Amino acid sequence: MDLLRTLQDIVGTENVLTGDDVRRRSVSWADHSPCQALAIVRPANTGQVSKVLAVCHAAGQPVVPMGGLTGLVRGCVAGPHEIGLSLERMHRVESVDPVNRTITLEAGVPLQVVQQEAEQHGLLYPVDFGARGSAHIGATVATNAGGNGVIRYGMTRDSVLGLEAVLADGTVISSMNRMIKNNAAYDLKQLFIGTEGTLGIVTRLVLRLREAPRSVQTAMVACGEFGDVTQLLKHMDAALGGSLSAFEVMWNEFYRLVTTPPARGTPPLGQDHPYYVLLEASGGDAGRDQARFEEALGEAIEAGLVADAVIASSEAQRESLWALRDDVESFFRLGMPVTFDISLPVTEMEDYVREVLARLEQEWPAYRRFVFGHLGDGNLHIIAAGPPSREARHGIERCVYEPLAAREGSVSAEHGIGLEKQPWLSLSRGPAELDLMRRLKAALDPKHILNPGRVLPD
Ligand code: ZN
C-alpha cells in the first residue's frame, strides 16, 4: 500500500507495524483481544508526527492516537481501517528545573517516570492513579486525567503549563509556556487538554511541579450518616488549612467486599457502618502536622461526625488502607464490572445514589452494586458487577445516567467520553455547547481524521 510505504519512508520500516506485530498488542488494559488497526506508526519526534499527519490528512486516512492503553472509555480502540499513532518512542525527559519547578518532556514518558523525576529533585508531580506505570503522560493530558490528589492539586489540566501539539494537517503548534501566569490572548493549550486526541496530538509538555510534602497523615474513619460525611469534609478542610490531600469515600457494600475473603484486605474498622472515609493530609513539619491532624479528627469525633477511626501509624499501615480503596481485582472476581465515573454536587449525592441503587436493584437484580469515589471532588464511581451482556450494560447505563440530568451532573468526571459514553453526552451538554464543539472540530480537523467518531458523534 502506497500510504504505508510513504509512512515507512518517514519513520523507518521497523516503525510501521503491521499484521502479527499489531495483533500481538491488545485493544486495551481491560480488553485483551488483539488490536485490529491497519498499522501502528511509531514516530521518533515532533517533526515525524507532523509529516505522518500531513500524509494521512492528504489521504483522508483516519488516525487513532495510542498511549499506554489504560483508558477506560475505549477512546483508542482502533478499527481495521484506522492507523494507530503511538508515541512510545518519544519518552525523553528533556529537563527538570527545580527553581521554576517545571519539567519539560516528550509525550510518551510514563506517568510514573514523571513522578520519579520530580521526586529526585525533592518535588512532586501530583497527578496519580493506579495505571501510573503504563499511562503515557501525553495521554493523561489528552484525557485530563483525575485521580486521588485532585482535591488539593486539581486535575491534570491544572499541572500543564505549556505544550506542543500537531494539528490534523501536520501544523506544529508550539506553546511551551513555562509560567503559571500568561494571559497573552487565547490559552491554546486548553484545546488539546481533555479533548482525547480529537483536535490535535500532544507531542511535548511543560508540567508544573510542586514542593514534595515532608509529612503525610492518613486515617480511615466510619460515619453513620451521609450528612456526617459532608460535614466531616468541611471540618477537616477548614481545620487543616489547605493540607487535606485526599478524601475518598466508600459505601458499606464496597468496604465489605474489599475486607472480606477472598479479598486480601482485612477490616481496620467494623463492617457495619454505612460509610467509610479514607482521608489524608500532607504538610511540611511531621511533628506539628501529626498533632494537628489528630486534633482535627478528635474534634470530629467529639462533634459526633465520626463513629470510629483508625490512624495509620506506619507507612505499611498507610499502604494497607489505600490498598482497600484501590482493590479493583475484587470486582473482576464478580464478573465483568460496568464502571462509572459520574460527578454531581455533593449536596445531591445521597438522594442520587439512593435513586440509582433502587433502580438497579429493581431492573438488574443479578448485578451487585458498589459506590465509592473522590467525594471531595464531587466524583463518584459506581460499579455494577455481574454476567457480561450488552443489553444489561445499556440498561445499567440508563439507570446510572438518567437521574443525573435533573441534577445537572456529568456523565464523566475524569475518564472522558471516548466511544463508550458518547450516546449519553447530551445528558450533560446542551445543544449550543455540542454545536460549538463541532465547530471547533471542523475548524481544526476538517477531514475528521483525528480519532474520528470518538467524543463527538460524527
Ligand atoms: Zn477515580
Residue ranges making up the domain that contains 382: 335-417
> 251 by DSSP, 3-state: which?
strand
pLDDT of residue 234: 97
Distance 338 CA to ligand 1 centre (A): 14
Secondary structure percentages of the chain, helix, strand, coil, to 5: 35, 25, 40
If asked whether residues 292 and 306 sit together in one domain, one would say: yes
Q: Mean of the pLDDT values across residues 89-96?
A: 98
Angle separating helix axes 46-59 and 2-11, nearest 10 degrees: 170
Distance 417 CA to ligand 1 centre (A): 14
Q: Predicted confidence band at 332 (pLDDT cuts at 50, 70, 90)?
A: confident
Q: Predicted confidence band at 265 (pLDDT cuts at 50, 70, 90)?
A: very high
Q: Mean of the pLDDT values across residues 273-288?
A: 95
Distance 379 CA to ligand 1 centre (A): 7
Distance 398 CA to ligand 1 centre (A): 21
Cell reading at 97: 528545573
First to last CA, the chain: 27
Residue 234 DSSP symbol: H
If asked whether residues 100 and 206 sit together in one domain, one would say: yes
Q: Is residue 164 part of a domain?
A: yes
If asked whether residues 206 and 102 sit together in one domain, one would say: yes
Q: Is residue 455 part of a domain?
A: no
Residue of 126, 124, 130 whose CA lies nearest to 326 = 130
pLDDT of residue 458: 64
Specify the pairing of strand 83-86 against strand 63-66. parallel
> 106 by DSSP, 3-state: which?
strand
Distance 129 CA to ligand 1 centre (A): 8
If asked whether residues 171 and 252 sit together in one domain, one would say: no
If asked whether residues 121 and 153 sit together in one domain, one would say: yes
Q: How many domains does the chain have?
A: 4
> Domain containing 358 — which CATH number?
3.30.70.2740
Distance 155 CA to ligand 1 centre (A): 11
Q: Is residue 302 part of a domain?
A: yes
Distance 12 CA to ligand 1 centre (A): 39
pLDDT at 220 over 90: yes
The Cα 305–Cα 234 span in angstroms is: 11
Q: Is residue 387 part of a domain?
A: yes
The Cα 323–Cα 130 span in angstroms is: 11
Distance 143 CA to ligand 1 centre (A): 13
Whole-structure pTM over 0.85, yes or no? yes
Distance 145 CA to ligand 1 centre (A): 9
If asked whether residues 222 and 314 sit together in one domain, one would say: yes
If asked whether residues 376 and 406 sit together in one domain, one would say: yes
Q: Mean of the pLDDT values across residues 162-174?
A: 98
Tens of pLDDT, residues 35-54? 999 999 999 999 999 999 99
Distance 71 CA to ligand 1 centre (A): 12
Distance 440 CA to ligand 1 centre (A): 28
Distance 413 CA to ligand 1 centre (A): 8
Distance 248 CA to ligand 1 centre (A): 9
> Domain containing 206 — which CATH number?
3.30.465.10
Lowest mean pLDDT among 396-405, 419-428, 432-441: 419-428
If asked whether residues 106 and 131 sit together in one domain, one would say: yes
For residues 382 and 400, the answer to whether their CB atoms sit within 8 Å is: yes
In sequence order, what DSSP letters do the residues of 37-54 get, joined into one string?
-SEEE--SSHHHHHHHHH
Distance 10 CA to ligand 1 centre (A): 39
Q: Is residue 446 part of a domain?
A: no
Distance 55 CA to ligand 1 centre (A): 38
Distance 371 CA to ligand 1 centre (A): 12
Q: Predicted confidence band at 131 (pLDDT cuts at 50, 70, 90)?
A: confident
> Domain containing 299 — which CATH number?
3.30.70.2190
Q: Mean of the pLDDT values across residues 353-376?
A: 95
**Cα→Cα distances 423→228, 398, 419, Å:** 36, 11, 8
Distance 1 CA to ligand 1 centre (A): 42
Q: Which of 86, 118, 153 is the last residue of a domain?
A: 86
- Asked, as a colleague might, if the bond just before 452 is cis with ω within 30 of 0, I would say no
Distance 341 CA to ligand 1 centre (A): 7
What mean pLDDT is reported for the chain? Answer: 95
Residue of 358, 383, 360, 361 whose CA lies nearest to 372 = 383
- Looking from the CA of 355 toward its CB, the CA atoms found within 13 Å total 15
Q: Which of 70, 86, 102 is the last residue of a domain?
A: 86
Share of the chain above pLDDT 90, in %: 87
Distance 340 CA to ligand 1 centre (A): 9
Q: Predicted confidence band at 75 (pLDDT cuts at 50, 70, 90)?
A: confident
Distance 302 CA to ligand 1 centre (A): 31
Q: Is residue 409 part of a domain?
A: yes
Angle separating helix axes 226-239 and 286-302, nearest 10 degrees: 150
For residues 314 and 345, the answer to whether their CB atoms sit within 8 Å is: no
In sequence order, what DSSP letters do the residues of 179-231 get, joined into one string?
-S---SS--GGGGTSSSTTSS-EEEEEEEE-EEPPSEEEEEEEEESSHHHHHH
If asked whether residues 78 and 136 sit together in one domain, one would say: no
The Cα 175–Cα 147 span in angstroms is: 26
Distance 323 CA to ligand 1 centre (A): 14
If asked whether residues 12 and 75 sit together in one domain, one would say: yes
Q: Is 135 exposed, middle or buried (0-12, 13-18, 19+ CB in 10 A)?
A: buried
Q: Is residue 450 part of a domain?
A: no
Distance 156 CA to ligand 1 centre (A): 13
If asked whether residues 191 and 112 sit together in one domain, one would say: yes
Q: Is residue 288 part of a domain?
A: yes
Distance 414 CA to ligand 1 centre (A): 7
The Cα 42–Cα 84 span in angstroms is: 9
Distance 60 CA to ligand 1 centre (A): 36
Distance 342 CA to ligand 1 centre (A): 10
For residues 220 and 268, the answer to whether their CB atoms sit within 8 Å is: yes
Residue count of the chain: 458
Sheet with 63-66, edge to edge strand ranges: 16-17, 39-41, 83-86, 63-66
Distance 172 CA to ligand 1 centre (A): 33
If asked whether residues 34 and 110 sit together in one domain, one would say: no
Q: Which of 325, 346, 365 is the last residue of a domain?
A: 325
Distance 287 CA to ligand 1 centre (A): 31
> Domain containing 82 — which CATH number?
3.30.43.10
Rg (C-alpha) for the chain, rounded Å, is 23
**Cα→Cα distances 377→143, 252, 348, 407, 410, Å:** 17, 20, 13, 16, 12
Specify the pairing of strand 379-386 against strand 336-343. antiparallel
pLDDT of residue 148: 84
Q: How many CB atoms lie within 10 A of CB 387?
A: 10
Question: Cα-Cα-Cα-Cα dihedral of 178, 184, 186, 188, to 10°?
Answer: -20
Q: Mean of the pLDDT values across residues 355-365?
A: 96
